[in-house]
Structure 1
């Protein structure tokens, strides 16, 4: 515990120093005094002008990522002791900062997220104002005449340059939120799935600034009769053509983010986003690798994460069975390694090549890695073309006997604090019930297996029609995974909003389909083994060391004899190409080494997992309506039915139901439509009930 606090303290100091660096970057003192001294002490024949930039902007971030990996490893070990986890949650001084707030235009955000957002906006405003002040201070009528320009033309040139500099500031932070296996975000109580909205906002800011940067320069070149500059690819300076190609790639990506295009033509949005490779490559060609090193750290960590994901996604995983529900929902059950552990509310990305070889979609994990150590369940509701196609494949009378699936993940919070409450109220709308299934199963494990005290559970679920009530069946694991929750205090209030009375339909059945597997199919395993966070820190550090060594040797023995560090002889494009190639090779080599080493160990462990293919499909009936004669298959189903009240033709009175809870600490979780989430958050933040604690669950991929 002491070591974890020391790591947090060191990380906080480095983070504050990194922010301070960005604060002073626009100032005259930084460029003409401080940076000059830094370059004088760090300039070498191995790294040249690139060295100081990597020292100032890249090394602090990579240091936080490496130290963060160690912290998360220790945190994971501590979370295996539930007493320590509860104690840490109770004593966590940051818990107040994690409480969500509702901000118009931002939605539901925690105080930590709001603080980061406000700090970044302040940094952008400060940087732009300071850049403009410093730039305009050197523009006089005499200096403009010497350059053959008017004062306003010189100021336009200065503004265009400063817009690009601010755009680079936003670009430096753009890739942090979408690094799924990030070791930095959890240090500040953030998760990648909850931070995607910041990637969206940063993306808009980047493109607005870069588009304005390009337009201002085009206007400047036209009014100063320098239109030939638009076709200039300088050998040793700024390459305008490269910048234009980067901007075009960015604009194409930006255009497809329009909500109407993204929702109705998701594949267009998805495919065009791969243009980020073109965008970044030509951005480096545009400015040179020395200046591009300022935005390198975020993209470097993203590349490490992206390559590890590509290694994991190459193999097919073993699909054991599928439960097909009449409400166009299904549960896929995968075989997994016992070593793979994840927290409730985690999600995983799936690819089904028979539907699309390129599309990847995130889905909530419904299983508990403790209750079901050799199985991982994913719940999918048929709401889009991809998920509906999968449902049709598995629900057809002549459904297939096997399914090829690739996965990336799981991803989720490093820990959960549900045990610190006396009661959990889980509010869901439609398929929003899926994250609560994993919480329910985890609490069953703690209560029935570990004999721990767990919170009471009140599940409030709203469905459109009675067929959706079969989603409650998924609270119980599939056949072959017995579950007992007789000692768990559970109450389910289910609301069917579109029907005013029960509709008896004997066809409403849940079918369990057992699927075959090939010998090459493997259980889902942790990509870097049980000590994945330590391996990630080792990969980040070793890959960057390999890059520095190879770049230093290349510069010393090949580039320096030609260029002498003047940056006026050797092509900046060739220098950038070599650096990008070395970065990619360094990441690929170290990632492959870590992945294959752990894959050997995973393969040995997976041999102990029983192959459960080839069983004849079975079906089970369900009854969620009071006073209806249905045969119940098992005691757990009877308990579940006895704990359920179904209400037809009405919506839950959430305010009344929440205020009725008198326990000293009530954790309130909500997942569903935006209107529902805001309604619950407003009730909890109203201050009318001090015992209500809103627990944020975000799925914003």
Structure 2
């Protein structure tokens, strides 16, 4: 069909007529959700519920193995079918749906209808922080699954333990029960491990399908990690106590050729404990690099976990790790490219705006996240920042704002604010990673509450709304409540408009800005340096920011998942049929479990590396080809060479869309006080008010408490949090 031709910008909505868009919209409706996807989810949930029962182990699993056992996969085939295939199938369908989702005009509105009530805060104070209604639902469901699994395993194991059965094994009843408890703790810990990697796959189609990003769901990774390692630690300690009490302490050094390897389990547990200790908040905040480097021990943990339980059983946790592995490799490939940094803008409040060249086909939603590495500052450190530019108003440029609050950002500011700044900075990026499409346009009013550098997510939102207002879209009334420590920080509001200026009329936006300065009781009279702009020289080694997999990134991601999985299965089938199977069926030999697991793991990594690398290089080649075509058709015009200049300028000079005054001067400023958020929000009389919060933990909690009260039925809460 003509509609499915994928080349260059063939999928661009601007190039399609009404009939084509109608066809695409119908496809989106068909895929949301397909019955097969729902059936797969239901089967997957049922498997987890029934797993602790004898019905599963004595009837379901043997029946499935009998139907799937073959000379090509053996018993691994059943586990791959039960645990791995359903999630990868859902991820592939999710990629296809997200690729076509941009052609469904009312998709965001349909999603909003069931998310609004469930996304409201239910728990505001406590060890879990701010928890919404839908999070409470899934948390209760997950805890119920853990409790059910523990109780079901314990019942099945304990009901056959008696003095007679224990005496036959020359053990006491408590020792047999201790061994059973140790085993069930490991089995329940595997449930947490199965979901551990889903939240940290930044480009996951599964997260995007449920409206989450890796930044917003990182807390789930933390909760799962704490629970899993607590269970695994108890699992290991119980076995050590059991071996010591039964005079089998030599089991600690046992590595069986067939069956669980104790040594591998101990290595996995020790690496997990090292990750666990350095992940604690005091260590992570004071010694972040120690936390960062120690976290890479997850590779050791996964490797020896597979050696411990075998690759066949590790299929339980394989789907999440498989999707994370693809995501991590794509991030690595993207990070090896040097991107073109066009200019930087520094303000007296120790804030920096970095402006990068980008491919005009790269699109992203407001409040997207990008990870940046500046080798001039540190070759190893990566830091996340909110994208402040908008791809509609800045099609060839991507901007981020950096507030100097740590050693890395302070060193970057020193480099840029020095009398002789560097001609260029060597920068690499990962991303941008977009959140789900925003639904605040359906609101009658939008209140944005920010603290300090928390204003940056709202800059991209305001720029988006400025563009939409000029396109005659209906825009809600806007109120920005910005809280700063010092009066110099007010200049952060000047980032609302881009460095190059804008042709859009910002006066069409119903925007009210109210700023609160908490430490200064009057405007600062200190002599400060003037803001200035620095333009960087270009390099042939640098290139604009592009999507890691091109304009059709979701489609390519689905292709990588499906093709790599097929290659993995083919390699596994061939080796098992013609190498492992003949050895296993020789009465004198048994193929080592560790060797089988190693081969399977190598095949998995090789299949992912091949498909992801080919897809990345293909899209990179296509981008260069299209860029050359554009360059040959355009006629260059002689211009000045600002890339060789470094000069100071007044901020008001660029704010042409706000006549005679900057956003800072148009702001209502209150000195020496904090905002009364309860009064401010209570004055919003509209029936549908979206409240977005980005700032310190206490500010988020205060706003969440107000929005969750029974008197605030019209307030719908959403927060941006980057504090783990």
Relative to the length of structure 2, the TM-score reads: 0.92
Per-residue CA shift, 1:6-59, capped at 9, x if unaligned?
432533332222111101001011101111111111111111111111100101
User: Which of these residues, 259, 263, 267, is aligned with residue 285 of structure 2?
Assistant: 263
Alignment check: 8 A CA contact 2:120 2:708 kept: no
Task: Say which is worse superposed, 577-586 or 606-615, in terms of deviation.
Answer: 606-615
Per-residue CA shift, 1:367-397, capped at 9, x if unaligned?
0011101000011111122122212211222
- Give the equivalent residue in structure 1 for 2:180: 158
What is the CA–CA distance in structure 1 between the aligned matches of 2:41 and 2:553, rounded to whole Å? 24
Alignment check: 8 A CA contact 2:497 2:655 kept: no
Q: Is the aligned partner of 1:563 residue 2:584?
A: yes
Q: 1:204 to 1:590 in 2, by over 3 A?
A: same
What is the CA–CA distance in structure 1 between the aligned matches of 2:420 and 2:651, rounded to whole Å? 23
Task: Say which is worse superposed, 187-196 or 426-435, in terms of deviation.
Answer: 187-196
Alignment check: 8 A CA contact 2:192 2:224 kept: yes
- Give the equivalent residue in structure 2 for 1:627: none
Q: Which runs of 5+ in 2 are unaligned?
A: 1-24
Secondary structure of 2:217's partner?
A: helix
What is the CA–CA distance in structure 2 between the aligned matches of 1:598 and 1:384, rounded to whole Å? 36
Question: Could you tell me how far 1:107 is from its partner in structure 2?
Answer: 2.1
- Give the equivalent residue in structure 1 for 2:22: none
Secondary structure of 2:66's partner?
A: helix
Secondary structure of 2:353's partner?
A: strand
Alignment check: 8 A CA contact 1:174 1:199 kept: yes
Secondary structure of 1:409's partner?
A: strand
What is the CA–CA distance in structure 1 between the aligned matches of 2:463 and 2:654, rounded to whole Å? 20
Alignment check: 8 A CA contact 2:688 2:716 kept: yes
Question: Could you tell me how far 1:229 is from its partner in structure 2?
Answer: 0.7
What is the CA–CA distance in structure 1 between the aligned matches of 2:431 and 2:282, rounded to whole Å? 29
- Give the equivalent residue in structure 2 for 1:621: 650
Alignment check: 8 A CA contact 1:112 1:189 kept: no
Matches within 5 A, 1:420-435: 420-435=442-457
User: Which of these residues, 614, 635, 651, is aligned with residue 593 of structure 1?
Assistant: 614
Cα RMSD between the aligned structures?
2.0
Task: Say which is worse superposed, 98-107 or 595-604, in terms of deviation.
Answer: 98-107
Matches within 5 A, 1:165-184: 165-184=187-206
Q: 1:408 to 1:632 in 2, by over 3 A?
A: closer
Q: 1:85 to 1:37 in 2, by over 3 A?
A: closer
- Give the equivalent residue in structure 1 for 2:317: 295
What is the CA–CA distance in structure 1 between the aligned matches of 2:705 and 2:38, rounded to whole Å? 32
- Give the equivalent residue in structure 2 for 1:243: 265
User: Which of these residues, 50, 71, 77, is aligned with residue 76 of structure 2?
Assistant: 50
What is the CA–CA distance in structure 1 between the aligned matches of 2:335 and 2:698, rounded to whole Å? 35
Alignment check: 8 A CA contact 1:456 1:490 kept: yes
Q: Is the aligned partner of 1:528 residue 2:557?
A: no
What is the CA–CA distance in structure 1 between the aligned matches of 2:239 and 2:203, rounded to whole Å? 39
User: Which of these residues, 351, 370, 394, is aligned with residue 348 of structure 1?
Assistant: 370
Q: Is the aligned partner of 1:496 residue 2:525?
A: no
Q: 1:174 to 1:567 in 2, by over 3 A?
A: farther
Q: 1:324 to 1:622 in 2, by over 3 A?
A: same
Alignment check: 8 A CA contact 1:132 1:162 kept: yes
Question: Could you tell me how far 1:85 is from its partner in structure 2?
Answer: 5.2
What is the CA–CA distance in structure 2 between the aligned matches of 1:242 and 1:210, rounded to whole Å? 13
Q: 1:633 to 1:429 in 2, by over 3 A?
A: closer
Alignment check: 8 A CA contact 2:54 2:156 kept: yes
What is the CA–CA distance in structure 1 between the aligned matches of 2:260 and 2:233, rounded to whole Å? 17
Q: Is the aligned partner of 1:32 residue 2:61?
A: no
User: Which of these residues, 14, 21, 25, is aligned with residue 40 of structure 2?
Assistant: 14
What is the CA–CA distance in structure 2 between the aligned matches of 1:174 and 1:235, rounded to whole Å? 29
What is the CA–CA distance in structure 1 between the aligned matches of 2:285 and 2:92, rounded to whole Å? 37
Question: Could you tell me how far 1:696 is from its partner in structure 2?
Answer: 3.4
Secondary structure of 1:687's partner?
A: coil
Question: Could you tell me how far 1:483 is from its partner in structure 2?
Answer: 4.4
Alignment check: 8 A CA contact 2:500 2:654 kept: no
Question: Could you tell me how far 1:148 is from its partner in structure 2?
Answer: 1.5
Question: Could you tell me how far 1:89 is from its partner in structure 2?
Answer: 5.1
What is the CA–CA distance in structure 2 between the aligned matches of 1:257 and 1:642, rounded to whole Å? 44
Q: Is the aligned partner of 1:543 residue 2:564?
A: yes
What is the CA–CA distance in structure 1 between the aligned matches of 2:588 and 2:388, rounded to whole Å? 56
- Give the equivalent residue in structure 1 for 2:340: 318
Q: Which runs of 5+ in 1 are unaligned?
A: 624-630
What is the CA–CA distance in structure 1 between the aligned matches of 2:657 and 2:320, rounded to whole Å? 52
Task: Say which is worse superposed, 680-689 or 666-675, in terms of deviation.
Answer: 680-689
What is the CA–CA distance in structure 2 between the aligned matches of 1:559 and 1:131, rounded to whole Å? 33
Secondary structure of 1:524's partner?
A: coil
Q: 1:565 to 1:200 in 2, by over 3 A?
A: farther
- Give the equivalent residue in structure 2 for 1:638: 661
Alignment check: 8 A CA contact 1:85 1:417 kept: no
Task: Count matched residues.
Answer: 688
Question: Could you tell me how far 1:694 is from its partner in structure 2?
Answer: 1.7
- Give the equivalent residue in structure 2 for 1:199: 221
What is the CA–CA distance in structure 2 between the aligned matches of 1:206 and 1:461, rounded to whole Å? 40
- Give the equivalent residue in structure 1 for 2:96: 70
Question: Could you tell me how far 1:451 is from its partner in structure 2?
Answer: 2.1
